[in-house]
Structure 1
């Protein structure tokens, strides 16, 4: 389970030359009936993901563009710092019950809504003291990267490529990344170290988009649509926040 979490668009449902609404074979050896069921599952997951991203985009836009909310957050710097530095703790706290009840309807939808709302708030707070121009640039870059990586993964799966080997590598890298983030709160890194940290973070979350998209295509069971959307949502959010951090570092 990885718990890190950005903003993309519903256009991610159709990427590259592969239309996930079609009946194309997802990967070699899959049966026709299984292929149709898997396409339906993928459409369901991307529908939930699009709804999550729309909520996050709306909350982020409100914190950045709506002056009363922006001023309120600026005036409560303690609350702002708490949310920024405890984002991972908040994520894990809400993610735990969601993981337990992920296959129990309607509790899974209730906890999914709470999880999306809490993550949207932390993302919005992270953007509250950021220029709208930088947030828009991060949004565009994230959408482009997510679309390209998703399209590549669908294409690679169709060609028989396998990315399961990335699992242990990405998990270990993410653990080190989180540990470094906690150390950074006590012993702040220099500007060069922060830039390197952000670049490595972007690579790791890009890898997770490829890995989790392949899991969506091949490995998630049909009743794990909530958990599949959550993993992709976290990948996209964290990539967005990483890109945003890199853009802020350059300004």
Structure 2
């Protein structure tokens, strides 16, 4: 009888330890799924995102330092056509990437092509920008992304939910697109560009919080590619609008 009581006590003690550890690993209070599986998903998403950022840096640096590339794009008619095509290609690739983001290895191939096309556009933007401005935008983007990511994990852990931001961010993005088109055909000067870039930076900060919240709570385990794409676009867009802002302010 004594041995049975001792065994029950040890079993209950181990169960309590498991429950406490499991509760500590939970990302938010109402979490019903396995924290270990969700953490594995998050690590996979950030691993893919890091690979995308490394590829983007490599491609963009090649475009910046191999001067014949930006010169060809900006000084020849065929180069302009290629540039327009490469600007439209990411939007074209997003369609098959969305429909096949769960199909391995096709999803990785499409993701690589998508990342390269985005990186080429980033490289062209940086090729005609001062190095100081690129460095400032890079540092600020890194600090903001890191800080907002930590804040989102901290807030979600305490029961916050940022899903409500979705409609506001979508509406804001539409306003940005319309205003951007107006700027192309009717330039409004440096001040308007700075205002536009500042508002765009705030909106993409909101997208970082929103998409991080979705990664923690909403995405299925097979949606790791699409989760990485969402965060990648947030980071790249934030960097680009900061470059635009510093260029206008320079």
Larger radius of gyration: 2
**Distance (Å, rounded) in 1 between the aligned partners of 2:133 and 2:77:** 21
Q: Which runs of 5+ in 1 are unaligned?
A: 1-22
DSSP 3-state at the match of 2:126: helix
Q: Which runs of 5+ in 2 are unaligned?
A: 1-23
Moved over 6 A (4+): none
Task: Kindly indicate whether residue 107 of structure 2 is the aligned counterpart of residue 94 of structure 1.
Answer: no
Task: Kindly indicate whether residue 167 of structure 2 is the aligned counterpart of residue 140 of structure 1.
Answer: no
Corresponding residue of 2:26: 25
Q: Is the 8 A contact 2:93 2:110 kept in 1?
A: yes
**Distance (Å, rounded) in 1 between the aligned partners of 2:223 and 2:89:** 23
Please, what TM-score do these two structures have when normalized by structure 1? 0.84
Deviations 1:66-114 (A, max 9, x none): 4444544454487359737973x33211111111111111111111111
Question: Kindly tell me: are residues 85 and 106 of structure 1, through their superposed partners in 2, closer, same or farther at Cα, counting changes over 3 Å?
Answer: closer
* Structure 1 residue 205, shift from structure 2 partner: 0.3
**Distance (Å, rounded) in 2 between the aligned partners of 1:248 and 1:77:** 26
Q: CA RMSD in A?
A: 2.0
Please, what TM-score do these two structures have when normalized by structure 2? 0.84
**Distance (Å, rounded) in 1 between the aligned partners of 2:81 and 2:193:** 18
* Structure 1 residue 203, shift from structure 2 partner: 0.5
DSSP 3-state at the match of 2:210: helix
Corresponding residue of 2:197: 198
Point out the structure with the larger helix share: 2
Corresponding residue of 2:53: 53
**Distance (Å, rounded) in 1 between the aligned partners of 2:60 and 2:84:** 14
> Which one has more relative contact order, counting CA pairs under 8 Å at least 6 apart?
1
